[in-house]
A = this chain, B = another copy of it.
């Protein structure tokens, strides 16, 4: 079964953080770096399928994803599940929902993940001592909002085919700009058709038939438990969506 393996003290000090070197991320000032180094109190490594955050429970910690893929979701009483968004390296986990109360969603790992651990308690000190980082937190939250807005538009108003195209284009794009694809040759999105179905608000069977249409058209390839986007531009056209260039983005 899925397993949690917490490490503490941190194995990767913030000054050697691999994310800082990626073009897409804004670098820290020396002062900010000093603070973040003390803000980080450990690391967490989890296996695929591990549950990192449970809806309804208190969770005194925040995380920044260092490596790997995960997703946030909610479930109804009878088990119907809705995936809300995916989390990639550089994303802050645990900010969504009330800042200091029970978590309102769950988080699960898609691949092996490494996360930096922060403590919620020290957020006020972050805002007090480093206003620029406080600003970044709001920036990060409002970026998440804009993704959720787009997802809502997609589920509410796009057809099944458009939705599927949007989702895969969206994930492929995020993986690209995050630099997560740089290492290996194949650019695989690590999810099952069940995940796609639960993101799009469709049944598993209909999702399968919709993805089939996309792979029959050679827009993508579906592998055992993952997908590779072959023609990004055509996905954009089908979805009626195009990524906006974010430029550099902050992270904590």
Contacts and interface: CB of A to CB of B under 8 A. Distances in A.
Interface in A224-248: 240, 244, 246
A97 B44 CA distance: 30
Contacts of A97: 142, 145-146, 149
Interface residues of A, number: 50
A96 B131 contact: no
A150 to B, nearest CB: 8
Nearest to A201: B156
Contacts of A152: 74, 82, 84, 148, 151-152, 155
Contacts of A74: 149-150, 152-153
How many copies of this chain? 2
A124 interface: yes
A101 B20 CA distance: 23
A7 interface: no
Interface string A73-94: 0101100111010000000000
A128 interface: yes
Contacts of A240: 76-77
Contacts of A123: 135
Contacts of A157: 76, 80-82, 201
Interface string A144-171: 1110111111011110000000000000
A97 B72 CA distance: 19
Nearest to A137: B138
A151 B156 CA distance: 10
Contacts of A134: 127, 131, 134-135, 138
Contacts of A2: none
Contacts of A180: none
Given A96-B142, A96-B145, A127-B138, 17 more contacts: A72-B149, A74-B150, A76-B158, A80-B157, A82-B152, A82-B153, A82-B156, A82-B157, A99-B142, A104-B146, A104-B244, A105-B149, A127-B135, A137-B138, A138-B141, A148-B152, A155-B155
